[in-house]
Amino acid sequence: MNEADPATDTSGHRARLRKRLIEGGSEALLDHELIEYLLALVTPRQDTKPRARALLAEFGSLGAVLTADAESLARAASPKPQSPRSRSRKRRHCGC
């Protein structure tokens, strides 16, 4: 049986993050990876990387994300509504 290359296999991404966190502490992860892992604990089976990156972009640092109030976090982490034009543009690009 041919196993997937661990470097390109996304199915074990959270497990790899967890292993790096346990073995190396929080310094072993980039800021967005630490936020991504924390988000993954409360949002199973969803890609949390875009949300983690959006939070860092909005607040500017890991410390600011961790000390932000719940309302600000919810507002910054919620998906932005798309215009009908951008949705149709996406459909053309993906071949749908």
**Angstrom distances, CA of residue 61 to CA of 2, 41, 52:** 41, 20, 11
Range of weakest confidence among 14-18, 36-40, 88-92: 88-92
Predicted confidence band of residue 82 (pLDDT cuts 50, 70, 90): low
pTM of the predicted structure, to 2 decimals: 0.66
What's residue 69's pLDDT? 94
**Angstrom distances, CA of residue 18 to CA of 26, 34, 43:** 10, 9, 15
The answer on pLDDT for 2 being more than 70 is no
Over residues 41-74, the pLDDT tens digits come to 888 788 899 999 999 999 999 999 999 999 998 8
The pLDDT of 13-30, averaged and rounded, is: 92
Residue of 28, 31, 33, 1 whose CA lies nearest to 14: 33
Residue found by looking up tokens 């640092």 in the block: 61
Backbone angles phi and psi of 71, in degrees to 5 = -65, -45
What's residue 75's pLDDT? 86
